[in-house]
Amino acid sequence: MTACPHCPTDNWPELERGYRAMLPEDVLAFIDAHRGEPHSESLLIATLHMVQDHLGHLGPGHLEAVAQLMQIPLAKVTGVATFYHYFRLQPRGRYLINVCLGTACYVKGAEKVAQKLMDELGIHFGETSKDGIFSLESTRCVGTCGLAPVVMIGEEVHGPLTPGQVPALLESYLARAAEEMAKV
Amino acid sequence: MPQPVHDFYQAMADRVGRTLAARDAEHQIVVQVGSATCEHAAGSQAVADELVRHIRASGRKDILLHRTGCTGRCSREPILGVRLPGRLPVKYERVNRDLVHRIFTEHIQGGIPVAQHVLDHEAGPLPERELLFCEGSRCHGSGPGLRERFAAMLAARGVSRGSVRIGAASCFGACGLASGGPATYVLARPEKVLYRVTGEEDLTAILDGHLIGGQVVERLRAQEEPIALAFMERYGDVAFFNRQSRVALRNAGVVDPESLDEYVDMDGFKALADVLERRDPDWVIGELAKARLRGRGGGGYSTAAKWTLARRQADATRFIICNGDEGDPGAFMDRSMLESDPFNIVEGMIIGGFAIGAQKGFFYIRAEYPLAIRRIQQALDTCRAHGLLGRNIMDSGWDFDLEIRLGAGAFVCGEETALIRSIEGERGQPRVRPPYPTDRGLWGHPTVINNVETFANISAILRYSGDWYARLGTEKSGGTKVFALAGKVRHTGLVEVPLGTPLARVVNDIGGGVTGGRQLKAIQTGGPAGGFIPASMQNMEVDFEPLQKAGSIMGSGGMIVLSEDDCMVDIAKFYIAFSQDESCGKCTPCREGTTRLLEILERITQGKGELSDLDKLERLARLCQRTSLCGLGRAAPNPVLSSLKHFRGEFLAHIVDRHCPAKKCVALIHYEINPEKCVGCTICARNCPVACIAGARKEAHVIDQAACVKCGNCFDVCKFAAVDRV
Ligand SMILES: Cc1cc2nc3c(=O)[nH]c(=O)nc-3n(C[C@H](O)[C@H](O)[C@H](O)COP(=O)(O)O)c2cc1C
Ligand code: FES
């Protein structure tokens, strides 16, 4: 059997099927739509954003699938994914808590809020709570400094927060999680 | 001669005029709720939902719920505005669902405002009308004198001061627009009439004709239509706003950011129509040169010069990029502009694309700003659907398109060469300049990169002329600058003032001074690349050069107010920790330099510093400044050098006395319970995470210093001020 001249390897169709199974539909559609366009490799970051939006993180399998389907060396894909803070290589909880440690929040006592979150959740930055509900991260300014100190949970911003308000805030998300899970 | 662009614009403006007129005819009452990240965080969505419920339940069809962007009055959000026909617009602060109910029944249905919740309203009844006198803060006009005269005349005539408020606004930007000669401008609300006043006779005419007679004095009506009129008409009574001069932020909080119609109604795309009709890029660049517009991203490079450089390139494939990375932790003006007036930024970019001869442009926006991304995407789609973007823009025959690329949380990507790498899909590491991006930028082609705020000013300059814009600012820098005021200041939010405004005016007059009755210690400008202006220098003018001379920089507009409770060594350490974390690692001076600087500062705040550390800090900082590859490393030592320059005494206190004057550095403080004041309520003991506080009920408590982790909980929870931080 002669290899397909456009395929990277002899067994490409089979490999491709495997890689495609790793990624959500609209990511595949996005990659397919731009394949062969000039500078299509520049869409790597956009693609990684899409994958993370869907799956919550970028696992080794996802990176390899993106690399293969976009025909960009895996070394480079990994290099990009590790360079940018926004990309997470570990799975994360249902709600991502981002404590702002930007200047405005710092001078307004963000550290105490962060400490309270760690105490309440029993985890450190970069970790996920045992029940898989919360992951804790820190960020540098979410652009709502006027409300400092702020904490971003998912896409929602909360502020100004005192350490005393932290337990109730977490409770409200736990309740929401319970509600969402009851629906499923 | 056919004028396709003119016809296109006219048809669009006519259509918008009809649509909005029909909407206004149907809705007598407008209720306005902000919709931007900060407003949402404060709870504006719940407020809007509650309003919708009330409007529905009331069955009224004449109430319009108007979603606008954000005005930048962060500490008072959510803000809700009510406009009844013929009445002064009223804004409420910190609105929640219960308050919505009161506002709806008492004000909207009953016609009587809920005075105690009105934004920045001190006490007493609300005025029925208002006359706002421009203070001529830039032209040194006779406004204040005339205002006092007018107040005296009112009193002499026995007009109740309660019903008419005489206010001051810093500058409407009307001066020299049309009619010649100096004058004072007076905005009469709610009639929305702008008068041009030159002497006392005019005041008499306004008093007799307008206030008492109830007739507009046509003879004095100003011919000018100053840029921020719509803004002032809505927000002119609020001191936080009327002391500002809004150009870049003129539509923030005024228009619905998702409505092309409302933007067009504010003269949107008129500048673009003018540009495409003239077909003369040199005219565009010439106006920017006259405007003395300097980049608002930090460097302050002349925008006209930058565009000229790209335009002169032989390579005809060119790009234009909007830098929306806003990396300074403590700055949020770019986010607000992208969210609150996206069409304006888009228009600025299209004009830029035309002026430099680009075919394509990119928005580079940080992923942390999801709403800004959505709003810009929506604006781009709308523009494309309406012939304002893509092929044959405004029937001019010219093609140009815009696309969004997302950042991914790397501060260094705000640097232009790193940003370009990032758009190309690479790791965002900077490279040596020259070649500058205007020579060889994106994919090797000439590229212009400008900041969001720079683009926000373009349409205004072309609408009102470069000379007008230049007059707003200083000899070297035209126009206004937006600052994100935060930290220990009473009114946090967005402040746009003419360049050359004294810092103290921003912090005290507009910002309301330091919170909690504390003293101002310093003002930080320029973020991690900037420095500190000590309180003693607060009267300096804000402009690129003076700030630099004082050892700071203008930066992108972050302005953090620091009080006596803030430790300068600690804040310097905070910034170095930031830069160290964000250093991309490509060049050694920055990577290692920031790490060692951080180590030394860490040592000093631990109380383990030595005198020789100060020299080391200084030497290392200078080395890092001189030898780093990009602006990150070159500017990273600025906070250290500037705090050493102005607050050396505080460093010495940490090193020699092992004492932190601001009582901030944990290693240098401890907590004690004052037995005189302690009543033995046990609240401290109950809140101590390490259970190191002993004492029986109703007896003085004692802290076990050896076990104490100095978390400060006892200090925070004690209701009798019995815990001392020493
Ligand atoms: C480390 C670093 C970070 C920067 N971050 C930003 C930024 O977030 N936004 C911005 O507009 N410019 C930023 N700049 C400046 C840009 O490199 C560039 O000068 C600017 O976008 C040019 O636009 P302007 O001429 O309109 O100011 C940064 C520069 C450096 C060195
Ligand atoms: S510093 Fe926290 S939101 Fe800006």
Mean residue pLDDT across chain B: 93
Atom index in ligand 2 nearest the CA of residue A141 equals 4
For CA atoms B301, B302, B305, B306, the dihedral sign is positive
pLDDT tens string A117-136: 999 999 999 899 999 999 99
Tell me, using a 6 A CB cutoff, whether residue B330 lines ligand 2: yes
The whole-number average pLDDT for the span B60-64 is 94
* CA separation for the pair B242, B265 (Å, rounded): 22
Domain map of chain A by residue range?
12-83, 95-183
> How many other CB atoms are found less than 10 A from the CB of residue A52?
20
Half-sphere exposure at residue B187, Cβ-oriented, CA atoms within 13 angstroms: 29
Residue A184's pLDDT is 74
Six token digits for residue B217: 């004095």
Tell me, using a 6 A CB cutoff, whether residue B428 lines ligand 1: no
Residues of chain B within CATH 3.30.70.20 domain(s) are: 670-725
Question: Does an H or E element contain B533, and which?
Answer: strand B531-534
Return the CATH architecture of domain B480-566.
Answer: Roll (3.10)
Half-sphere exposure at residue B567, Cβ-oriented, CA atoms within 13 angstroms: 25
Residue A165 clears pLDDT 90, i.e. is over it: yes
* CA separation for the pair B105, B124 (Å, rounded): 21
Which residues of chain B are within 8 Å of residue A143 when distances are taken between CB atoms?
37-38, 326, 331-332, 335-336, 368-369
Task: Flag if A157 and B37 touch (Cβ within 8 Å).
Answer: yes
Atom index in ligand 2 nearest the CA of residue A147 equals 3
Per-residue pLDDT band at A2 (split at 50, 70, 90):
low
The residue behind tokens 């040596």 is B432
Q: Which CATH superfamily is domain B129-237 in?
A: Glutaredoxin (3.40.30.10)
Percent pLDDT > 90 in chain B is 81
Six token digits for residue A39: 């500078």
* CA separation for the pair B360, B320 (Å, rounded): 7
Per-residue pLDDT band at B126 (split at 50, 70, 90):
confident
Counting ligand 1 atoms within 8 A of each CB, the residue from B438, B449, B454, B629 with the most, and so the one to mutate, is B449
Nearest CA to ligand 2 atom 1: A102
Which residues of chain B are within 8 Å of residue A159 when distances are taken between CB atoms?
41
pLDDT tens string A32-88: 999 999 999 999 999 999 999 999 899 999 999 999 999 999 999 999 999 999 999
As beta bridge partners, residue B90 has B82
* CA separation for the pair B253, B492 (Å, rounded): 16
pLDDT tens string B528-556: 999 999 999 999 999 999 999 999 999 99
Task: Flag if A103 and B41 touch (Cβ within 8 Å).
Answer: no
What is the third-level CATH fold of B569-655?
de novo design (two linked rop proteins) (1.20.1440)
* CA separation for the pair B388, B400 (Å, rounded): 9
What is the third-level CATH fold of B3-68+80-118?
Glutaredoxin (3.40.30)
CA distances (Å), origin A162, targets A122, A149, B232, B650: 18, 8, 35, 29
Per-residue pLDDT band at A4 (split at 50, 70, 90):
low
What is the third-level CATH fold of A95-183?
Glutaredoxin (3.40.30)
Tell me, using a 6 A CB cutoff, whether residue B414 lines ligand 1: yes
pLDDT tens string B473-516: 999 999 999 999 999 999 999 999 999 999 999 999 999 999 98
Atom index in ligand 2 nearest the CA of residue A100 equals 2
pLDDT tens string A86-116: 999 988 899 999 999 999 999 999 999 999 9
> How many other CB atoms are found less than 10 A from the CB of residue A107?
26
Residue B198 clears pLDDT 90, i.e. is over it: no
Task: Flag if A144 and B408 touch (Cβ within 8 Å).
Answer: no
Tell me, using a 6 A CB cutoff, whether residue B203 lines ligand 1: no
* CA separation for the pair B519, B661 (Å, rounded): 14
A-side interface with B, Cβ within 8 Å?
Answer: 39, 41-46, 48-49, 72, 76, 79-80, 83-87, 100-104, 106-108, 112, 115, 119, 139-148, 150, 155-159
What type of residue sits at position A15? L
Residue A146 clears pLDDT 90, i.e. is over it: no
pLDDT tens string B376-398: 999 999 999 999 999 999 999 99
* CA separation for the pair B554, B412 (Å, rounded): 18
Burial class (CB in 10 A: 0-12, 13-18, 19+), B155: exposed
Q: What are phi and psi of A37, to 5 degrees?
A: -70, 155
Contacts of A98 by beta carbon, 8 Å cutoff, 6+ apart:
A137, A138, A139, A142, A151, A152, A153
Atom index in ligand 1 nearest the CA of residue B632 equals 1
Tell me, using a 6 A CB cutoff, whether residue B298 lines ligand 1: yes
Q: Does B562 touch chain A (CB under 8 A)?
A: yes
Six token digits for residue B23: 């909407």
User: For chains A and B, what is the number of CB pairs under 8 angstroms?
Assistant: 149
* CA separation for the pair A91, A79 (Å, rounded): 19
* CA separation for the pair B132, B233 (Å, rounded): 10
CA distances (Å), origin B722, targets A131, B98, B120, B650, B694: 40, 38, 35, 27, 14
CATH number for the domain running over B271-471:
3.40.50.11540
Q: Is the peptide bond before B534 cis (omega within 30 degrees of 0)?
A: no
Per-residue pLDDT band at A140 (split at 50, 70, 90):
confident
Task: Flag if A156 and B689 touch (Cβ within 8 Å).
Answer: no
Return the CATH architecture of domain B670-725.
Answer: 2-Layer Sandwich (3.30)
Interface test with B, best of A41, A119, A140 (most B CBs within 10 A): A140
3-state secondary structure of B384: helix
Q: What are phi and psi of B384, to 5 degrees?
A: -65, -40
Task: Flag if A104 and B405 touch (Cβ within 8 Å).
Answer: no
Counting ligand 1 atoms within 8 A of each CB, the residue from B416, B482, B553, B594 with the most, and so the one to mutate, is B416
Residue B282's pLDDT is 97
Residue B125's pLDDT is 81
Percent pLDDT > 70 in chain B is 98
